[in-house]
Structures are given as C-alpha cells and as structure tokens.
Amino acid sequence: MQPIHPGRRVVVYGPSGSGKTTVGRLLAGRLRVPFVELDAVFHAHPNWQDLSRDEFRHEVEALLARHADGWVFDGNYDLVRDLLLPRADSVVWLRLPFPIVYSRLVWRTLSRAVVNAELWNGNHETLRQAFLSKDSMLLWGLTAWRPHHRAMARALATIPHGAVYELRSPRAVRMFLQAVDARPD
C-alpha cells in the first residue's frame, strides 16, 4: 500500500452520518494535530442556541490562528468554507452510498435520543425532535443529501491547491486511514 501524505491541515466533509467526526479524530491522531469538530463550535450554547454567522466565523478564525501548525476540521458549514479550503493541504470527502450513511444516521440519532446523550455544550437530540420536528436529523438526512453533494462538488472543483481524497466505501475509508503517513513534515 502506497503511503498517503495529506499534509498537516485537512478538512473532512461528508453528509450527516457519513463518519466525519470518527474519520477526523482518527486522522488527527495519526497526524498528531488538533481535531476541531465544527458542530461543537457552532452549537455553542444549550438548547440549540447557535452562534451568529459573525461569531462562528470569528471562532473559526481564532482556531485556525491557534493551530497554525496543523489541524483536522470536520463539518460542512458553507459559512466558513472560504476560511478552511484556502488553508487546507487536502480534503477528505466521504461519499459513501446513501443506504450506508442513512442507516448510520438513523442508528446514531435514535441511540443518542434514547440515552439522552449530550452532543455539544448541553445540547441533546430527543425522540420528539427526531420524529416530530422540522429540525429532525432524520428528515435532514433525506432532504440534504443531494444539495450536499452538489455543493461539495462545486466547492471542491475550485479548491485552490491540495488534494481531494474522495472515499466512496467503508473499505476505502479504512484503506485511506491505514495508508496515511504519520511522519511530520
């Protein structure tokens, strides 16, 4: 297996349930750089009181400055894509098949709701939210699928530099992570 050198600044994209956070954490560990989950930054306050656009951009800019030597960010926020992509050495795009991603999303959403798991900063998913809310992750997983893929294809077609690793299966994800060269630059 050929070693992969993704650089020290990597963005991980993919639809909800694709494994962005899992891959991001593993990749950051291999590269020995900080991991930043953008959901944790954006959903900054309990009861889903999110940061404003300007607050979010300010926080991401501060994180980029704090971790200038390297980082792995995960999240699909177009609000900060212009901050991340020009600084990224590479992008990992998790383009797994819909049945795999959606089944993971259903399992994750329902299991979090049942055990009342805290996600970020005092925020929780509930069964009511999952089934009876316009903010349902299950509904989001259905309606955001095609727009996500169209938006990412457009954004990544214009990436100024660096590589895009487009991973289309769980096996491809495993092989990518195994091949990442952890040597420092």
Residue 73 sits in a domain of what CATH number?
A: 3.40.50.300
Residue 157: predicted pLDDT: 87
185 part of a folded domain: no
171 part of a folded domain: yes
Number of domains in the chain: 1
2 part of a folded domain: no
Interatomic CA distance for residues 116 and 119, integer angstroms: 9
184 part of a folded domain: no
Domain that holds residue 18: 9-179
Interatomic CA distance for residues 16 and 40, integer angstroms: 14
Residue 103: predicted pLDDT: 97
140 part of a folded domain: yes
Any residues with CB less than 8 A from the CB of 51 and at least 6 apart, and which?
41, 42, 44, 45, 59
143 part of a folded domain: yes
User: pLDDT confidence of 158, banded at 50, 70, 90?
Assistant: confident
Residue 12: is its pLDDT beyond 70?
Answer: yes
Residue 71: predicted pLDDT: 98
Least confident of 54-58, 69-73, 84-88: 84-88
Interatomic CA distance for residues 31 and 25, integer angstroms: 10
4 part of a folded domain: no
82 part of a folded domain: yes
